Every structure is written in C-alpha cells, then in structure tokens.
Chains A and B, each alone.
Chain A
C-alpha cells in the first residue's frame, strides 16, 4: 500500500474565474515542485481542457489525473463529478455546456475562457456559453445523469458560496459518493447533518495553490476503482489548509 498525496479540485484557464496563468506550463512547474501523486482537473461546466491537461501532466510529471468537471446546477449548487473515462467526461461536459442558461457574457469583466491544444498552447477563446453560469438541470437530475457513467458525484464546498447546504438549507435525499468540506469544523458540522464520506480539495484558481496537498489516499495503485473505494469506505485522510 502507498499513501498517495492528492488534490482533486483544480481549475484551468478554461474557467472564467481562474487565473490566466493556470496554463499547462504552470501546472507542470508547480506540480513538479510539489510532492503530489494524484489530482483532478475540474473546470466550471466544461471538460474541454481535460484531455490535453491530463496528457501533458501525466507525461511530464508522473502525476495521475482524474478527469472531472464542476457543474453548477439550476439551484446554483456546485457539484464535482469525477469520471473513470476521459471520453465520458467529455460527453457529459458537452451536455452540461449546452444546458447553460447564460449564452453571451462580458469577457473583459468576467474573465476569458481559453481552450488549450495538445502542446499546451492557447488555441481558442470561447465566448459562448458563459461557463460561470448555471445549467438548466437540477441537482437531482445532474446526479442521475452523471450516474449513467462510471463516476463519483461530490457536492463541492458544501457550506461556502454555491455550496449544497448554503443553497438548499437541508441535505437533499441523494446518495452522494462524498461531500467536499474545507475545514475540520465543517467536517464536524457535516457529520451532524448525516454525512460520513468526505473529500478535501484546494479549489485551485491560482498556480501557487497547485502545490497544496489536500488529502491522502491509501491504495495499491492510482486507479479509479481505488479512488471510489476510498471515498465510499470513508478512508480519505484530510490535510487541513491554513
């Protein structure tokens, strides 16, 4: 068994709110400085950068990347969906993109949405839809749509802005694979309302945050099954951020 150092919540230059310096180059720079073993790419409402970031990171750092997406539901709840397969993440990402309710937006004010090619160069600026918008799908619908694939579905930062409990007040009756919390206090609060399976992420929007380890997973290898098993068996070990 190895104790893998992980951070499963990171944005790229595709997310309008992420820094323009969240390039593949900076991912490599900061990730190779860190001792991380296993991460995920989770842009807002799109998975269009996942394939190229995953390939470049895995080839240049030896770090494993789980394909992911952070969906915003119609209730404005952020939900992380982790996929076993990149092509399924891409298929799901397209469905989410098409469902976004804000089509055009002010790029200068709200941030650029940048696609990256195979070599890590900027290839295109996406001006529609606005990836910071909500999908027209509800939390329940997003859960059931995601569960058609091999996935782990995890509401993000549940007590913060756009968190499940902030938006919905009471835990909905959905059997999530885990919930993401940001502190020990939040974990205790989440336990009181019935949650027992947790994940801990940095939600990196700036390159400096990419170095942070947010949790450990003990497993014999970094495959999706082991990721899901450690979530389901309450075995993800937190590293609290200052």
Chain B
C-alpha cells in the first residue's frame, strides 16, 4: 500500500513523510520493547508503538520498517523526528489506543 493512502486515514495525523517516499507498506507490527521489535518486525512494516525514543528510528532501519505510528496521542521526541528525516522513515500519530489503531490498520492492509 502506498504511504499516501495510509496518510489519508482519518485516525492518523501525519508528523512527517519523506520526499520521494516510494516504499510500499505491506504488513504491520506493534510493540514497545525495542529488543523484541528488532527480532520480530518485518520489512516494509508500519509499526505502532508508545515508544518515543530516538532509537525507534535505528530499529526501523535495522528491521526495514518504513513507517511508525505513536499511539494514545503521545508525541515523538524532537530528536526522533530529526532522525526520521535522515533515515527516510514516515511518522504518524494517533489519538487512538494502540489496540484500536492496529485493528484499523490491519483491516486496511488486509483489504488492499
């Protein structure tokens, strides 16, 4: 799925989308323990988390996740947003719980 289509979802607010972003989002992951995410998150994922530390960008680079959603109306740290620009990772936020957000994203990707 194209990132533009994900960005159109009414439950997501775009924090940052890299220019010329051409990766397809194929699958999702959720988790806050970055050691677990490093083991289990798959390439071309959209990843739903509560974790705002800058290391989420490094973990996305390692796993091949292409977009991150922060749940519960939380915010990314400023240095996290800066790192996302360097690493070309798309960032979104949502007012929803991680559970609700994952449910909606799951249906969206499944029906694509």
B17 to chain A, nearest CB (A): 24
Proximity bits, A72-96, B CB within 8 Å = 1, else 0: 0011100000000000000000000
A165 located at the interface, meaning its Cβ lies under 8 Å from any Cβ of chain B in the complex: yes
B71 located at the interface, meaning its Cβ lies under 8 Å from any Cβ of chain A in the complex: no
Which chain A residue shows the least CB distance to B53? A75
Q: Which of A166-174, A210-218, A225-233, A234-242 contacts B (4 or more CB under 8 A)?
A: A166-174
Q: Which of B7-15, B34-42, B84-92, B103-111 contacts A (4 or more CB under 8 A)?
A: B34-42
Assign chain B's interface to a size class.
10 to 19
In the bound assembly, the distance between CA atoms of A170 and B53 in angstroms comes to 11
In the bound assembly, the distance between CA atoms of A168 and B37 in angstroms comes to 10
Residues of A within 8 A of B3 (CB): none
User: Which residues 41-83 in B have Cβ within 8 Å of A in the complex?
Assistant: 51-55, 58-59, 62, 77, 79
B58's contact among A75, A166, A167, A169, by CB below 8 Å, is which?
A169
A166's contact among B35, B51, B53, by CB below 8 Å, is which?
B35
Assign chain A's interface to a size class.
10 to 19
B1 located at the interface, meaning its Cβ lies under 8 Å from any Cβ of chain A in the complex: no
Contact across chains for B52 and A168 when beta carbons are under 8 A apart = no
B33 located at the interface, meaning its Cβ lies under 8 Å from any Cβ of chain A in the complex: yes
User: Which residues 102-140 in A have Cβ within 8 Å of B in the complex?
Assistant: 138-140
Residues of A within 8 A of B62 (CB): 169-170
Residues of B within 8 A of A75 (CB): 51-53
A170's contact among B33, B51, B52, B55, by CB below 8 Å, is which?
B55
Residues of B within 8 A of A168 (CB): 34-35, 53, 55
Which chain A residue shows the least CB distance to B59? A169
Residues of A within 8 A of B55 (CB): 168-170, 172
Contact across chains for B34 and A138 when beta carbons are under 8 A apart = no
In the bound assembly, the distance between CA atoms of A42 and B79 in angstroms comes to 30
In the bound assembly, the distance between CA atoms of A74 and B33 in angstroms comes to 12
In the bound assembly, the distance between CA atoms of A34 and B51 in angstroms comes to 42
Name B residues whose Cβ lies closer than 8 Å to a Cβ of A.
Answer: 32-35, 37-38, 51-55, 58-59, 62, 77, 79
Residue pairs across A and B with Cβ atoms less than 8 A apart, 29 shown, are: A74-B52, A75-B51, A75-B52, A76-B32, A138-B52, A138-B77, A165-B35, A166-B33, A166-B35, A167-B32, A167-B33, A167-B34, A167-B35, A168-B53, A168-B55, A169-B34, A169-B37, A169-B38, A169-B58, A169-B59, A169-B62, A170-B34, A170-B38, A170-B55, A170-B58, A170-B59, A170-B62, A172-B54, A172-B55
Name A residues whose Cβ lies closer than 8 Å to a Cβ of B.
Answer: 74-76, 138-140, 165-170, 172
Nearest 6 CB-CB pairings of A with B:
A169-B34, A168-B55, A169-B38, A169-B35, A75-B53, A166-B35
